[in-house]
Amino acid sequence: MGFWDKLFKGNSIDKETNQMTNVKLAVIYYSASGTNYQLAQWAEAGAKEVGAEVKVLKVPETAPQAAIDSNPAWKAHVEATSNVPEVKLDDLEWADAIIFSVPTRFGNMPSQMKAFLDTTGGLWFNGKLANKAVSAMSSAQNSHGGQEATILSLYTSMYHWGAIVAAPGYTDPVIFGSGGNPYGTSVTVDQNGKMIEDVEGAVKHQAKRTVTVAEWIKKANQ
């Protein structure tokens, strides 16, 4: 058995023998036109396959309404997801694990996500965010448009929280098929808003891995 075969065998998640029945996962996203909302939905599906309780939550939109109205795709997505609940600080405290999904803005997270993270100081100060399993995903219109930098910018905040980053690494062959990003699933979106890479499997694997790490942490603290 080769190195990669051993690695994948040792890190694969068996749905029948590794059902996670008591992990609470918050999938927190920002999406202007729908890509990261779709990633969040795939993460929800993957986590539920291993028994996690999942909330899909969006961060509040802070862009001026005039900017939204001027972009038909943006406006349509905002209207289509009006029923998705906005994340609250209580959701962070509730969650054992958190997956973030955001588009890249000049190699960084969108201001909407940053504005929300900047409100978490009270939870951080009281140790409410430490030891949570966290992971992140991103998208951009170019294959080298800053997806990795965006994910790492999110992880920088998580290090300050004292959270445990559950990056996918190369723990399953599906990661190579989606572009091979070890920091978190990333996808390229064309001018028509269509994903270029097939990342559904990678997203689901990343969600299952994040839930698994959260389960390990919970067991260690019992």
Q: In the chain, what are the domain boundaries?
A: 3-220
Burial bucket for residue 144 (CB in 10 Å: 0-12, 13-18, 19+):
exposed
How would you classify the pairing of strands 186-188 and 133-140?
Answer: parallel
Q: Chunked in runs of 10, what are the mean pLDDT values of the chain (222 residues)? A: 49 46 92 94 97 97 94 92 97 98 94 97 97 95 87 96 97 91 92 88 97 94 80
Query: Residue 197, Cβ neighbours under 10 Å: how many?
Result: 18
Q: Distance between CA 33 and CA 142 in Å, rounded?
A: 16
Q: Distance between CA 34 and CA 194 in Å, rounded?
A: 10
Closest to 39 in 3D by CA, of 118, 84, 101: 101
- pLDDT at residue number 19: 55
Write down the CATH number for the domain with range 3-220. Answer: 3.40.50.360
